[in-house]
Structure 1
Amino acid sequence: MWLAAGVRTPFVGVDGPFAHRDALALSVPVVQAMASRASGPIDFSVWGAVAVNLAYANLAREVWLEAKLDPHVPTFTTIMQCSTSMAGVFEATGILDHGSAALALVGGVESMSRVQIGLGQNLSDWLRRIVQARSVGQRLALLRNLRPSDIRLFIPEVKNRVTGRSMGEHTEDMAKTWNIGRQEQDELALQSHRGAIAAQDSGFFADLIVPLDGITKDHFPRRDTSLEKLAKLRPVFDRTSGRGTLTAGNSSPLTDGAAAIWVATEEGLSRLPGATPRVRLVDFEMAAVDIFTEGLLMAPVSAIPRLLARHGLKFGDIALWEIHEAFSAQVLCHIKGLEDRDFVREKADVEHTFGSFPRDRMNPNGGSVALGHPFAATGARILSQAVRELAALPKNSRAIVSICADGGLGTVALLEN
């Protein structure tokens, strides 16, 4: 199967220039831009968002119809937290393997500025019974039965439902377990910003971003940041123990944005412009961990060794590593875990024959800390970025793309030029 680079919106901060756009309004320009580049039919589309909207159940279909595209094209929605659009790629691959389709448009969106607030379940049940009541007496009885404790709003938060703790709080635990210090987190964040700025200056993103509302580039990369400036930021997830290390500077920001990518057979590739970067999707792996004992965002450390071992590859055989930066600390925990022979043997159930991890090959054009992280869009963003970078490397070069996700989940792809 093949992946071909898609396009995305610029990534901007919550309550910023895209604050007036909901998930539909962010998605439509991306899907329309993708469709305009195809010279033949798109066989189906997969789209997703983590923060769902009660106004529609199948976001993918709503986006497609809102974009005024062929209504006969099947479309469906998928959700896997931060791995949403990468999981969509895996789903599309399975459908294309079936042989009845050749080209799929896959992507995701997050409008963190327009997250819908819902009613608590008891209040929802009460309102439904009020509407269904057939008499004034029934309504009055229901009014008397409403308890103050039932009047609750559900406000979506970046927290795990089971533990009640945020991604940052969980990652603080991981950083302490793996002895990840503040300075190395800030150094990785600085590296991410420098890579993103260099990529902007070189025009790397020019074909990957479609301007929207006068915005032409990502807003987060900081040309003026430094280790000194990063060091002055206070911890935001552990403010009381004196051991907190995660700050706004070494964590990915809340982001509005949408992104897409092509999944294609050989026939599907013929429907795309010849200049579109494309690489082979060789294989993929998914993993899950116990979020109470193994670290909420550690699943890729199980998936990567399994994927490499299946193909007889070492770390050094991979020319490009694109690892999603939910937090600098999480990336550094992954690297330490991958280099730990006993940990790999226990968690991935394979012998560690991979060598040392090549940090100099990781996220050369910036990662999520610098570029932003609209949850469901990150998979398509990071894959398209990897495709463009890998397509320019020598033939037979390989890449690993890795994403951690809430719920103790992880998805990893092996690509080859």
Structure 2
Amino acid sequence: MRPVHFAAARRTPLGKLRGALSSVRPDDLAATVIRGLVAEVPALDPARVDDVYWGAANQAGEDNRNVARMAALLAGLPETVPGATVNRLCASGLEAVTTSARTIAAGEADIVVAGGSESMSRAPFVLPRPDEALPHRIETADTRLGWRLVNPAMKDLHGLLSMGETAEEVAERYSVPRERQDEFALRSHQRAAEARKNGHFDDELLPVRRPDGVLVDSDECIREDTSYEKLSRLKPVFRQGGTVTAGNASPMNDGAAALLLVSEEALNELGLESLGRYVAGASAGVHPDVMGIGPVPATRKVLARADWTIGDIQEAEFNEAFAAQALACVDQLGIDPDLVNPSGGAIALGHPLGCSGARILTTLLHRMRRTGAQRGLATMCVGVGQGSAVLVERH
């Protein structure tokens, strides 16, 4: 198998629900970051891009009908460059990266754009087609998050807990108390605020010009003024007497991220710097009721695949869907908590579903370059009971 390198990685700022980026279509978010990524590599003739693999979790609205191809054309890539959209829900962006890396490693491509996008602000309501001409009742479904138009057999099998209820399940089964969750959430905001203040996101951020001409150049959800006292006063959202609140869960967001993956031959030919080498990727399944623990088997699988141990990891990005699940994963994997999300995570920055896997990997690669770390892990939980993980290495 051929070595695969990351030659560039960029992301948009992450906007809050109905916030700064809500007027930007998801295909335009994707096109903006693809265009900016390719422009960052002047030595690259865009016609040499072999494919675009793009993650999108919703695909019910403006990101329908293969947003990868739409975004590639909107970005100005030649019509000869194909595109395919992949969907592993929250890990869609990470899945796009692993698909791209495996394609290059197999010798079927040399240069691939991978990434993901999501506009949760613009996610539509959907209306199922009725079986009758004049139905008595039609129910709409909000496509932003969670189950929709579910097969009754799936409900009989698994009960269809909401995402927040699955976090409560993880908190209970893995003994993660409310106090730890709020402390973790506070630390996420503090670390993200400090990282922004110190310019640690500057190399990864690509500003977005809205239709009204306003330039959005900063993440919107970081709360510099939050405190443990404020977080501890919030009421549980999903269960009476529960522990999961709006403060220790990730928000809903808009954003996009893209990475340029190249073979070692293309890297050397074009004279590009390697941000890091793709080592391995893996996904694993768990019971949907505890989907938040998915990173544990996925990480163990990918470490075994690379013949690494958790002690080899020097930098780690865990997507913080919920503080409860992130902490449970840290505990179960036995990783040093100080290595996890030193620039903050999704609780502070946001979790635009299809974008998030590409976002955490982008943040990880830029931080490893800054700190000199050699081995890194990006991992995340996935709705309906999965986890995904990717290992990267720098020399």
Whether TM-score is above 0.5 comes out as yes
Deviation readout 1:122-167 (Å, 9 max, x if unpaired)? 2xx55xxxxxxxxxxxxxxx4xxx1312x33232252244443321
CA distance in 2: counterparts of 1:43 and 1:263, whole angstroms: 10
Q: Match for 2:33: what amino acid?
A: V
Q: How far 1:370 moved relative to its partner?
A: 0.7
Which residue does the alignment assign to 2:212? none
Q: Match for 1:291: what amino acid?
A: P
Percent of aligned positions that are identical: 34
Q: Match for 1:37: what amino acid?
A: E
1:406 to 359, 365, 383: 383
CA distance in 1: counterparts of 2:17 and 2:363, whole angstroms: 22
Does the CA-based 8 Å contact 2:61-2:123 persist in structure 1?
no
1:382 to 349, 353, 360: 360
Does the CA-based 8 Å contact 1:281-1:415 persist in structure 2?
yes
Does the CA-based 8 Å contact 2:291-2:387 persist in structure 1?
no
Q: How far 1:314 moved relative to its partner?
A: 3.2
1:286 aligns with 2:293: no
Does the CA-based 8 Å contact 1:49-1:109 persist in structure 2?
yes
Q: How far 1:225 moved relative to its partner?
A: 1.2
Which residue does the alignment assign to 1:2? 5
Does the CA-based 8 Å contact 2:53-2:85 persist in structure 1?
yes
CA distance in 2: counterparts of 1:155 and 1:17, whole angstroms: 21
What's the RMSD between the two structures over aligned residues? 1.9
Secondary structure of 1:263's aligned partner: strand
- Return the index of the structure with the highest Cα Rg: 1
CA distance in 2: counterparts of 1:222 and 1:273, whole angstroms: 40
Which residue does the alignment assign to 1:130? none
Q: How far 1:392 moved relative to its partner?
A: 3.1
Which residue does the alignment assign to 1:344? none
Q: Structure 2 matches for 1:93-132, cutoff 5 A?
A: 93-122=101-130
Q: Which has the higher mean CA deviation after the structures are superposed, 323-332 or 304-313?
A: 304-313
Secondary structure of 1:297's aligned partner: helix
Question: Runs (4+) of structure 1 moved beyond 4 Å?
Answer: 270-274
Secondary structure of 2:282's aligned partner: strand
Q: Match for 1:301: what amino acid?
A: V
1:370 aligns with 2:348: yes
Does the CA-based 8 Å contact 2:280-2:305 persist in structure 1?
no
Which residue does the alignment assign to 2:54? 47
1:31 to 31, 34, 47: 34
Q: Match for 1:114: what amino acid?
A: R
1:86 to 79, 94, 103: 94
Unaligned runs of 5+ in 1: 127-141, 339-355
Does the CA-based 8 Å contact 1:196-1:366 persist in structure 2?
yes
Q: Structure 2 matches for 1:343-358, cutoff 5 A?
A: 356-358=334-336
Does the CA-based 8 Å contact 1:5-1:388 persist in structure 2?
no
Q: TM-score, normalised by structure 1?
A: 0.84
Q: TM-score, normalised by structure 2?
A: 0.89
Deviation readout 1:79-127 (Å, 9 max, x if unpaired)? 10010011111111121123242111111111111112222232xx55x
Unaligned runs of 5+ in 2: 210-214
CA distance in 2: counterparts of 1:273 and 1:408, whole angstroms: 42
Q: How many corresponding residue pairs?
A: 372
